[in-house]
């Protein structure tokens, strides 16, 4: 790059032309989903979702967690137990549900959802009923599970497109110090 320093996490040292290493919309939205996942208190899986309209505006963000008003210090976080009521599964709200419920005043009909994990069958029902037209997911690690097969079947029947996200960057770092460390270009005289 002709000796100029440039990274996806910082500004180019050449201030006379636009940056070429900025985040494209899909990477930005999937990054928002992954950042939202960091809010999850679930010790075994942190999932985030980001809903975006056709104008590339975020209309809803969510992550997996206990329902509002339910003390997450009282409810269980275990994946397995003799009694299913002693596991997280009857209680946890998935990221997709929370993103739909957390939407701003904009309608989610016709929107795209970016989500870390391919949606389960219950979330697929919500996505369909909400009118979301496309799901972009990072991982489908439970692909063979009956719930995921049901999700794909329902999405196919409802005409909802689902696409595996292929990142251009394996890591995106948020550096809070970068705002103080970037050099400002000289002001025109």
Point out the catalytic residue in the list 20, 55, 96, 147. Answer: 96
Q: Which of 90, 87, 150, 165 is nearest to 119 (CA)?
A: 150
* 20 belongs to the catalytic site: no
Collapsing DSSP to helix, strand or coil, 32 comes out as helix
DSSP string, 96-128: HHHHHHT--SS--TT-EEEEEEPPPHHHHHHHH
Supply the residues annotated as catalytic: 96
């Amino acid at each position: 790059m002709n000796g100029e320093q440039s990274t996806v996490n910082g500004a180019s040292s050449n201030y006379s032309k636009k940056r070429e290493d900025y985040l494209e919309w899909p990477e930005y939205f999937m990054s928002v989903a992954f950042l939202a996942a960091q809010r999850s208190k679930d010790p075994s899986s942190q999932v985030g979702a980001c809903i975006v309209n056709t104008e590339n505006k975020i209309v809803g963000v969510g992550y997996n967690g206990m329902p509002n008003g339910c003390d997450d210090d009282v409810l269980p976080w275990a994946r397995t137990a003799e009694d299913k009521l002693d596991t997280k599964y009857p209680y946890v709200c998935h990221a997709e549900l929370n993103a739909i419920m957390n939407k701003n005043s904009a309608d989610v009909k016709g929107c795209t959802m970016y989500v870390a994990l391919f949606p389960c069958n219950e979330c697929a029902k919500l996505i369909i009923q909400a009118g979301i037209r496309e799901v972009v997911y990072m991982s489908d690690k439970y692909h063979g599970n009956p719930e995921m097969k049901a999700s794909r079947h329902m999405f196919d029947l409802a005409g909802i497109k689902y696409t595996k996200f292929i990142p251009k960057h394996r890591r995106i770092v948020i550096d809070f110090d970068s705002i103080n460390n970037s050099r400002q270009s000289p002001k025109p005289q």
